[in-house]
Every structure is written in C-alpha cells, then in structure tokens.
Amino acid sequence: MTAPYERYLQETLISEDALQARIRELGEQITRDYADSHNLLLICILKGGVLFLADLMRHIDVPHAIDFMAISSYGDGVRESSGHVRIDMDLNQDVAGKDLLIVEDIIDSGNTMQYILSLLRTRKPASVRICTLLNKPDRRKVDITLDYVGFDIPDKFVFGYGLDLDEIFRNLPFIGVCRPDMDTSQS
C-alpha cells in the first residue's frame, strides 16, 4: 500500500526531524532578537505558511500576536510566479508602531515578498523582518534581505509542510521534491 503522494515524490529533501530541529533554532534566535520587543506581530502568509507558523510560534518565547494575509500572483503558469501580485485577504489590524515578522513558506523569484514588504512599509510599522522556511537563491529576480532562513534549497519544485502540489499535500510533515514528469492533473 503506497501513500497517494508517493507517485509524485522524487526524493525527500528535508525530513520531519530536520525541519523541526531547524524551526526550534529559528524560534530561539527570534526569541533572543525580540527579547525587548513589546509589540511583536507574526504575519503568516497563507496558505503555505500555516504549518511553519504553528510550529515556529511554539518556540518563540516572547509575547506576540499573530495575523494572516493571503496573497496570490497571477499571469503566468501555476508554478511560475509573475510580477503581478494581488492581496486576497488583508490583515485586520493597524500595524503602525509594531514589530512585524513576516512568516513565509518559500522565497522564489522574490516578487511576492517584495510586494508584501512595500505594502507593509506604507503602514508605518516600527520594524519589518522576514522569516522564510525555504529559500531558492538561484531563482531570485529581485533583491531582498532575508532575516531568517530555514534552508537554502536548489531550483526544484518542492511540496509538503505547507507547500502544495496543485493545492494538495500541504499536510505532509516533510519537504519533498516533485518528480519533474509528474503533475497532479494527470491523476
């Protein structure tokens, strides 16, 4: 009996244990860096950031609030983000004067994050930093400073742990590389 994801999986890139160990380290680093902050707000980017947020915040030992934003990019194929980014769901609070930490699943071209950053900066927060679980440096099209990075990964399409393969498999506890010849529409 094989699990449904197995036919799409080329290899496991980051195991559950490796993810959890690194997320603990990130949480401890964030705890140190924000020890004096009284206004920390974690902003999770939906949908890919949900598992990461849920695990990361358990290791952040300073008082903080959470909020959510949903962003989509459109114009190109599903696996290529374009420069056109749109807000599907905005925050429902004023972020002026707050220390914002954006929690994202992956930075690829950087277009999505550049859009989020420029939008949030217009709202006069005290600070804005980025925490991404995954980073694909080879794919970057715009220059962005990443404050916290879980793992730099090669230019391969990955899924699991929040990241989807055509909207499914976000629940997998590990990060897998998708077989290049496979697509969930071919089921």
**Which of the choices ligand IMP, Mg ion, none does residue 110 contact, using the CB cut-off of 5 to 8 A by kind?**
ligand IMP
Closest CA to 129 of 98, 102, 151: 102
Q: Is 48 in the site for Mg ion (CB under 5 A)?
A: yes
Q: Is 108 in the site for ligand IMP (CB under 6 A)?
A: yes
**Which of the choices ligand IMP, Mg ion, none does residue 99 contact, using the CB cut-off of 5 to 8 A by kind?**
none
| Two structure tokens written together for 41 | 């707000």
Those residues whose C-beta lies under 8 Å from the C-beta of residue 33, and which sit 6 or more positions away, are none
Q: If you ran DSSP here, which 8-state letter would residue 179 be given? A: P
For the question of residue 152 being annotated catalytic, the response is no
Q: Which of residues 39-98 bind ligand IMP (CB under 6 A)?
A: 48, 73, 81
Query: Concatenated DSSP letters for 6-51?
Result: GGGEEEEEE-HHHHHHHHHHHHHHHHHHTTT-S-EEEEEEETTTHH
Catalytic residue selected from 108, 143, 164, 166:
108
Contacting ligand IMP (CB under 6 A), which of 106, 120, 128, 130? 106
Assess contact for 30 and 144: CB atoms under 8 A. Answer: no
Q: Is 111 in the site for ligand IMP (CB under 6 A)?
A: yes
Considering beta carbons, is residue 34 or 131 the nearer one to ligand IMP?
A: 131
The nearest distance, CB 105 to Mg ion, in angstroms, is 5
176 by Cβ neighbours in 10 Å (0-12 / 13-18 / 19+) ranks as buried
Q: Which stretch binds ligand IMP (CB under 6 A): 8-16, 18-26, 120-128, 153-161?
A: 153-161
Q: Is 110 in the site for ligand IMP (CB under 6 A)?
A: yes
The residue whose two tokens read 């599903």 is 78
Enzyme catalytic residues: 108
